[in-house]
Each structure stands twice: as C-alpha cells, then as structure tokens.
Structure 1
C-alpha cells in the first residue's frame, strides 16, 4: 500500500514564509494579545495554542470505521523557562484514560514546525522539532494544522528568548 503525506513548513501566510521580526509577525502577536486579553505574547500564544488544540482535537466521533478510536486531548503549559510542557490525554470509548506529560526543552531547536495531513485517515500531526515524531495529533484539517503549527512556532521562539 502506498502512503502519501503532505508536509508543510510554517509559519506560512499566502504561500510565503513569515519572518519572526516582521511587521506581519508583530500584527499577528498583537492580534492574539487583543483576542485573549493577554498581557504578554507568551500568555496569548499559550491561550491560542490551547484553544486550537481544543477546537481541532481528534475525537472518537471523527474516527468512524477506525479499529481503535480514541480521543486525543492536549494542553500546553510552560513548566520552567525554556521548557514547554505537553499534557496528552488519550481516552478510549470504554472509559479508559491514559495521561502522559512530556517536556520539550526549546533551546537550540529550529522553531519552524512542520505538519503532515495524510490524504487518508482522520488526523494531522505536528512534528516534534527534536526527532520529527508527532508532537501532537489533531483532526485532519490542513488549515487548523497550519494555524496550530504557526502558533507553536511563535511560542517556541518566544520561549527561546528566556
């Protein structure tokens, strides 16, 4: 069986990469601070990323016909300076819940995250900048994956500043 994947680098806007220091970057961050009534870029980026993770959560209802459907729920937080904490909760329809907490040290990482949305299957994944394995898995929605990868890229860049 041949498997095809679409891989995208972010942040992308109208097909062009966005520089972190650009006017567009400043407008993006300002818009998020205003949207979430946040006092800092980091607070706004965390709120936006968590909102996107909730909106595009891969839930059992989207996995009709899958052998082992499960809800995949994520929450991000900042554990210590330069460290992003990722809480993953996997829920089975039978009621079983598995929780895993991971920490991602952002220092030295390329902040431009990649995402994949295979044409088959119910999900997209945002790749870890450490090893390329899935950092988070969300509902297959390429625009949602693009926006989440963009927000996470900005968040990692912000965390790299200390």
Structure 2
C-alpha cells in the first residue's frame, strides 16, 4: 500500500459539499480537511488575487488534485483555475463523478460535463486526465466503488504527472541542446 498522498479536493461547494464529505472521509488524501465556509468567505472578501494565492498555496503542498464532478462543477471558475494550475505545476489530476452519491436530503443529481474538456498550454486535458465514473444509480454502490478504487486512481494520477514532468524536462534539455548546436 502506498503512503497517503497530500492532495486537494476541488468541487462546487454549494452543490456538492455533502457528497464531497463522503469521499473525503474515505481518508486516502492527506490535508483533505473541509474548507470552513467562514474561512472561504473571508478569502473571497479579499478578492480574486487573494483567492488565487490561497489556491496556489494549497496546490503547491499537494501531489494530486482530485476534482469531484457534480452537475455544475465544470462551470465553476475556481475549479477551472485549480485544474489549470495543477496541470501547469505538474501535479496529479483526476476526476471522479459524484452525482450518484446522495446529498443530505437523500437526493442524487444529474451527471455534469467533463471539467477537463478544456485546453491548457495547447493540450486538451480530457485526452490526458481520467474522470472515473462509478456507473451505478445506487448511491451505496457508487460510494463503495469510489472507496475501493480511489487510492489506486490517485496513485496513477501522481505517476502520470511524474512522467509528464520527466518528458517536459527532457524536451527542455533537447531544445536547449539544439539551440546550442544549431
């Protein structure tokens, strides 16, 4: 078993905080304490640059960003920022559809769009980042599928990020060498 990874859960707070708490409580990700709504409101009051700094600091301490995808996640400005920042910083990235987990009222939601269906640095992320879908309408089964597999998903995302960083370094080295020799 691999050590627990330091990570960040990215999600639509208003729509999915209850579902997110279920996944967070599985315990695979360190530093996955819920964001206190009062602390988040304080950061928001300080403006967009404060939000970016707050997110940047959390991503810098993470090896993986796990995007928990609900019905509106792909439309959230700060989720998109976290995805872009994690990609540029070479962090592990995965998505998990959580729409079939029940909320505090026992309700499920509709499946949202893939939040990785964007381009960053000329790369379509949906071609490189896996979004896992438990593919069951039963909330308990969806939870158990996530619980059974999330550790492996996170580990694979981190290894993929390490490979991306290695390829970037090699490419940068070749570019430097070709400029020197050319």
Q: TM-score band, normalised by the shorter chain?
A: under 0.3
Higher strand fraction (1 or 2):
1
- Which TM-score applies when normalising by structure 2? 0.23
Higher helix fraction (1 or 2):
2
Q: Higher relative contact order at CA 8 Å, sep ≥6: structure 1 or structure 2?
A: 1
- Which TM-score applies when normalising by structure 1? 0.25
